[in-house]
Structures are given as C-alpha cells and as structure tokens.
A and B are shown apart, each in its own frame.
Chain A
Amino acid sequence: MKSIKVFGSLIKDSFHEVTQGSKAYHIWMAFLTFVMLFGMFNYGIQLDEGLSATGMTDRVSWGLYISNFTFLVGVAAAAVMLVLPAYVLKNIDFKQAVLIGEGLAVAALLMCLAFVIADMGGPARLWHMIPVIGVFNFPNSMLTWDVIVLNGYLFINITVPLYILIMRYQGKTPNPKVYIPGVFISVFWAVSIHMVTAFLYQGLQARPFWNNALLGPRFLASAFAAGPALIILVLAVIRKHTKFEVPDNTIKKISMIVTVAAQINLIMLISELFKEFYAPTHHSISAIYLFFGLDGKTALLPWIWTSISMNVIATVILTFHKLRNNFKVLYVVCGMLFVAIWIEKGFGLIVPGFVPGPWGKIAEYTPTFVEVSVTVGIWAMGAFIFTILAKTGIAIELGKLVYNKKK
C-alpha cells in the first residue's frame, strides 16, 4: 500500500519536475512535440494509404524503418557496457552514467517498438502475435525471439532504475541484493538482444549479404561503439546544463570503451571487405552494389563512403590518447562515429540485402517524405522520452525530488 503511495507521489513530483525548466528546455520540448505531431500526422497518411506511402516495394521490402530499428537495438544494448563496471566491478566513476545509459536504453527500445509497428502492414492485427490469444511461432521464427528479448530487456531496464530511484526518492539506500541480480540478467540480456536481432537477418539463406557468420559479432562491436558514443554526447549536454556532476574520468573511461569497440568494428569491416572482394563470388554482388554500384545504380555510394571515411577517421583519432582526452575533439569524434554507424547499420545493411533481388533485378530504394517524417517523428519521441526520464532521474539523484519534502 505504501509503495503505491510513494509511486503515486513520485509520478506527481516528476510531472511537476518535467514541466518546469529553463527557456531552452521549454523550447526543446515544444520542438520535439511539434516534430512528433508532424510524424503522427504522416503516419496517419500511411495508415490511410497503406505502405505504398513509403518508398518500399516488392523488390526492396524493408527500408528506413527496419534500418533504424536495427541500429537502435544496438544503442539499447550498449547501456550494458556502463551497467557492468558500475555495479559489478564497483567502479564508482560509472554510477552517474548508468542511470543515463539505462534511460537511453528505455528510450531506444520504445523507438525500436515504434519503428516495428510503423513498418507493419496491419498494426491493428498485432494481437495475433500475443501468445495464447494469438499464435506465437516460437521457437521457429526469429522474430518471436526478438519480441521476447526486446520486451524482456525493456522490462529489466525499467524496473532496475525505477527501484533505485524510488529508494533514493525516499532517502533510502538501494539494497544491492535486490537490484544486482537484475543487473546481471540485463548484462546477458543486452548481448542477446543484439545477437537475436542479427540472427533475424543472418538466418535467411535467401539473402547472401546477410547470411554471414560475422553479422552478429559485428552488430555487437558497432553497437558498443555507437551506444556509448551517444552516451558521451548526452553526458556532455547534461554536464553543461544541469548541476549533475559527471567527472572527467567517467567520460574518459567511456571513451576508452568506444575506442576499443570502434577498433574491433573496423577489423571486422576489413575482414568482410576482404572476403567479398579478394575472391568475389556470385554472393558478393550486393556488396559490389553497396560499395561501387551496379549498372549505373549508385544510390548508396555517397552514404556508405561517408560512413566508412567517418568511421576510419574517428577510429584513428580515438586511438591517440592525446586527441581522445581533449573533450572538444572527443565530442566531435563521437558524433561522427554515431552517424557513421547509423548509416552502416541502417540502410547500409538493410537495403543491399534486397539489391539485387533474388533474380538479379536491381531496383533502388528512396524513402518518401512520409517515411522520413515518421522516422524523424519517432526519433523525436525517443528524445522526448529520454529527456523526461533523465530530468526526473537527475532531480532525484541531486536530492531535489524527495518524498514528503514539504511536510
């Protein structure tokens, strides 16, 4: 009974907290709201017209939505990189980053789910997937595995920080015996969400571009570069605009993780390129399309080469301690890495899987305005959710939000 009361009071207080703020904060939230509404409007068009409102066709049947979904699963998984040292290795440095990381994971997961729903032809029939009332093709379909791991991960990432925050909110110390098991599970779980998502593609013998044993590990490496890179950027903003203290050392440690992951990712990229181009087989044709274009169809060239050059430059810069420890350089490099991996794990991965088609047909894919708007809208939704979560979390951590403060 009491816990419900505390929870109710927390909701009330956090609502109060997130509706107060500086002018910049209000402008930021208003902007996000506007973008979200615009995305919803465009989603309405898509619901009305069907998926023909998007650039997808029978030839390229997954596009921007599934690309973003794939990338964001990685961002969500990356939260674990911070959870692990903070709780298990008792590394105090990371404590501040963990709440932010888990908030980011929650926001990223909700975006993932939104992208999948946006991609559905019949979102109203989604209940067909609910076990027992519908039919859940487990374990045959990797998509059902993905549903399980994503929702499970979402559950863990909501409950663990919620418990910690509720305890802090009441001025108590969280009991490690309660939350450490949850943390351990989430560590394994984070690896599984990204591996399962990779298996989704990897298991298709029909698409040689994806049917590649390196896909899963490469997903992990790139995720652990892009995710923490985003966390560094977020921490930079939080450090600047709130009283929340993030020691330099924390950011330096995270940047170390980014560096190692980016280096591993690059090695895997080289391995893939070697396999595809040293002795090209019939199955290398999608890679040829992606990197060099086929039959004058070159839509992906500017994207992938931007991605690769940014990836290489960022990794090289990160490798040098002097450059990495200069925060101004670090922030720029993290931004570059994030964008590079977004391209690489986004349509650099999904679209070439379909081009050329099973009978060699080369049909290119260009997202439509509706599709782009919905995508941007979902990103705004993620940013909106994250801002709310982070603001509440920070207020509690700073002791600004306390249960029964006034009495």
Chain B
Amino acid sequence: MSSNNKKWFSLNLTNKSNKSESCGCGKEFDSCSDNNQKDGYDQIMDVPMDRRSAFKKITAGLLMGAGAVSTSCSVVSGDDSKEKSSIEWEEYFKGNYKLMTDEERNSTVDRLVRSYELRKGKKLNISSKDAEDDVLFGYAFNISKCQGYMDCITACVEENNQDRSSQMQYIRIHEMEEGKGFNFEESDDNYYHEVPAEGHFYMGTQCFHCDNPPCIEVCPVEATWKEKDGIVVIDYDWCIGCRYCMAACPYDGRRFNWKTPEVPEEEVNKNQHYLGNRLRKKGVMEKCTFCVQRSREGKNPACVEACPTGSRTFGNLLDPNSNIRWILENKKVFRLKEDLGTEPKFWYYMD
C-alpha cells in the first residue's frame, strides 16, 4: 500500500522527490511527512521573481490602457481608487502561490484583504497557513448511513462561497436503486423529492484528493498541486482557465467559473484561506479543498460537520488514534475506479 513499489509504471521524468510517499492507510506513519515540496522550486525561486519584475516593467507601457480602464470603472474616487488600481496592478503580476516566499504570501493576502475592504468596506480574514507536519488528510464515507439529505451540499456551498447563481456544488449525492449495485449510470445526482426514497441508497462523490492526481500533471502552468498534507489545491489567481484538469479528472471533482461568481454580501464566509474558500473570479477552476480553511485549524470540513447521519468521517491518516484510521483498519473499505491508479484518499464502506 505504500511508497516505492507502485503498481503502475511512471516515468518520473522530473525526478521530483515528492512523488512517492503514499502513506495512505499504511501502518508506518513517521517517515512520511517533511522534506516534501519546494526543494526543487526553491532553487529557481529567485530567478523567476527577478525576471518577472523585469517583465512587469516591459509590459507596463503595454497594459497602461487596461489599468486605466479598470480604474475608471470603479465608483470610488481619489486615493482609494489609486490604491485600488495599484493593488490590481500588483495582483496581476504576482507569481504562482506555490513558488512564493512567506513574505510574498503575506503581502498578497494583505492586498486581497485591503482590496475587499476598499470595495465592500468589510474586513476579511484570509489565512495562508501552511500544511502541518505529520498530517495527511483522508476521508471515509459510510454508504449504509447516508440518507441523501444533502445537508452536506448546503453546508459546503455556504462554507466555500460557491457561486449561487449557477448553483455550483462540489459534492454530488447519487441516488441509487437497491438491488442494482453501484450503478452510477442509472443513478440520479439531481433529485428533488423526499428522502430517503423507498428502495434507494445514497452515495456521495466529490474531489477525492488523489495521491496520484492526474489533474495536477496536465496543468500547463502548475496552478494546481498536491499540498504536503495531501490536499489538492488550486491557485485561483494563477489558473488560466484552459480546463485541461477538468478533462483529466476521472471523478468529476472539478468545477469551472463560467461566469463571475455571485455570493450575496451578507452570505460571504469571511473566514477564508488563500487556497480555499476565498472569493473566486470568472474563468478559473475551483474544487473541494477538504475545507482547508477549517481542516488546517484542526476542525472538520463543513460537510462532515453538517451531515445529520454521521456517514462522513474526516481525519489524519498518520494519526493511529484517529477515527479514519479505525475505519480503514476495521471496515471493508473500497475506493472508486481504483484501476486508474489515482489512489484516492477517499474510502467507502458499509456497516
């Protein structure tokens, strides 16, 4: 189940050291964490930043017009509008979050908070908290318990500031007929009737945070990646909106902002994370992040908390005393489309 002997062949052309360690449900949990990530990027970090600022100067003249337009569109005038356009300017030219130094991360968070304050007059709390050591998140879903209430979906939408007008939802609950097994083709993920419906059972899907995610490989700009704690995240400001990751995901885990997302001001969840539920813009991808703004604070994702039946379990796979580990060790668990070699960190089981 773990590290080196993978069952599929991979070229590993880049020799990235952070490829392996699928500590998933393995018993050894000490060796898995640190020395992941970054190292390869750290080396080139300084160069792209320098070149980028050079590029900034070169294109400055070119984009002056665009800047002027966006400034004139704003209602606020004077110093505020000046500050706003300077923030927009800095934001446009900022780099990929994955490659930013802590300092740069803090300053982009500050800019985002300030920009929201200038526009709406309200203070956001955006976190840039990194993954903690010795943490690898996993999820288990009890098919016997789920009754299809969809409270998880409602909680998810509210927690994660998803577009209300297009009714974007990360989670899909599939209503399946009993006696037909897991027949996704004939299941319905868009039902509007009283649940639990007679002779049916329910199964939820969302982003499975694969240990070997096909979506991150295909991204041409590395705008999506797997964090040290196993969460697959997207830098919304770096994504160019080609939707290649969407085509590459076998689990329908990704969503695209086809238009500018709308969240009524009073419904905005102001407790945000840069990689999580901060407000998105049109033309970028988004997806379930295991509520990174909550999970990194030691809380359960919103869906787990909202589930009235207790069919959802979330936890640290590296903690031998966690509920998720107990389930993996004592239940007959399975994952979906295992033949694709994606190694989801999302298990199903029955009582």
| Known A-B contacts A121-B241, A125-B238, A143-B242; A358 and B99 likewise in contact (beta carbons under 8 Å) | no
A361 touches B283 (CB 8 A): no
11 contacts between A and B (CB under 8 A): A51-B283, A120-B241, A120-B242, A120-B283, A121-B241, A122-B241, A132-B47, A135-B99, A135-B221, A359-B184, A359-B252
Q: How far is the CA of A140 from the CA of B283 in the complex (A)?
A: 23
In the complex, the chain A residue whose C-beta lies closest to that of B188 is A361
Q: How far is the CA of A58 from the CA of B47 in the complex (A)?
A: 37
Near A by CB (< 8 A), chain B positions 117-137 give: none
In the complex, the chain A residue whose C-beta lies closest to that of B255 is A58
Near B by CB (< 8 A), chain A positions 140-173 give: 140-144, 147
A137 touches B248 (CB 8 A): no
What band does the interface of chain A fall in when counting residues whose beta carbon is under 8 Å from B?
Answer: 35 or more
A52 touches B258 (CB 8 A): yes
B341 touches A121 (CB 8 A): no
Pick the residue among B220, B284, B285 that contacts A144 (CB under 8 A): B220
**Selected interface stretch from A88-96, A183-191, A201-209, A240-248:** A201-209
**Selected interface stretch from B30-38, B211-219, B300-308, B310-318:** B211-219
How does the 8 Å CB contact mask read for A360-381 relative to B, with 1 for contact and 0 for none?
1100000000000000000000
Q: How far is the CA of A285 from the CA of B96 in the complex (A)?
A: 39
Q: How far is the CA of A121 from the CA of B342 in the complex (A)?
A: 27
Task: Tell me if B332 is interfacial: C-beta within 8 Å of chain A.
Answer: no
Hey, which bits of chain B sit against chain A, CB under 8 A?
13-14, 47-48, 51-52, 54-55, 59, 66, 92, 95-96, 99, 166, 168, 172, 174, 184-187, 189, 205, 214, 217-223, 238-244, 246-252, 255-260, 282-285, 340-342
Shortest beta-carbon distance from B140 to chain A in Å: 19
B221 touches A137 (CB 8 A): yes
For B238, what are the chain A residues with a Cβ–Cβ distance below 8 Å?
125, 128, 135
Shortest beta-carbon distance from A59 to chain B in Å: 8
B185 touches A137 (CB 8 A): no
| Known A-B contacts A127-B55, A205-B214; A58 and B222 likewise in contact (beta carbons under 8 Å) | no
Pick the residue among A57, A62, A143 that contacts B218 (CB under 8 A): A143
Q: How far is the CA of A50 from the CA of B258 in the complex (A)?
A: 6
B218 touches A359 (CB 8 A): no
B187 touches A50 (CB 8 A): no
Beyond A121-B284, A140-B218, A206-B249, 20 additional contacts (C-beta under 8 Å) are: A49-B259, A50-B259, A51-B258, A52-B258, A52-B259, A62-B247, A121-B241, A121-B242, A121-B257, A121-B282, A123-B240, A124-B66, A128-B223, A133-B55, A134-B48, A135-B95, A141-B219, A141-B244, A200-B244, A358-B249
A356 touches B252 (CB 8 A): no
For A135, what are the chain B residues with a Cβ–Cβ distance below 8 Å?
48, 95-96, 99, 221-222, 238
| Known A-B contacts A56-B258, A61-B246, A62-B243; A357 and B252 likewise in contact (beta carbons under 8 Å) | yes
Hey, which bits of chain A sit against chain B, CB under 8 A?
49-52, 56-58, 61-62, 116, 119-130, 132-137, 139-144, 147, 200-201, 203-207, 285, 353-354, 356-361
Pick the residue among B13, B219, B242, B252 that contacts A139 (CB under 8 A): B13
Q: How far is the CA of A133 from the CA of B92 in the complex (A)?
A: 13
Pick the residue among B51, B96, B220, B257 that contacts A143 (CB under 8 A): B220
| Known A-B contacts A56-B258, A121-B239, A204-B214; A137 and B222 likewise in contact (beta carbons under 8 Å) | yes
Q: How far is the CA of A118 from the CA of B223 in the complex (A)?
A: 20
| Known A-B contacts A129-B221, A141-B220, A359-B172; A122 and B186 likewise in contact (beta carbons under 8 Å) | no
Q: How far is the CA of A136 from the CA of B172 in the complex (A)?
A: 33
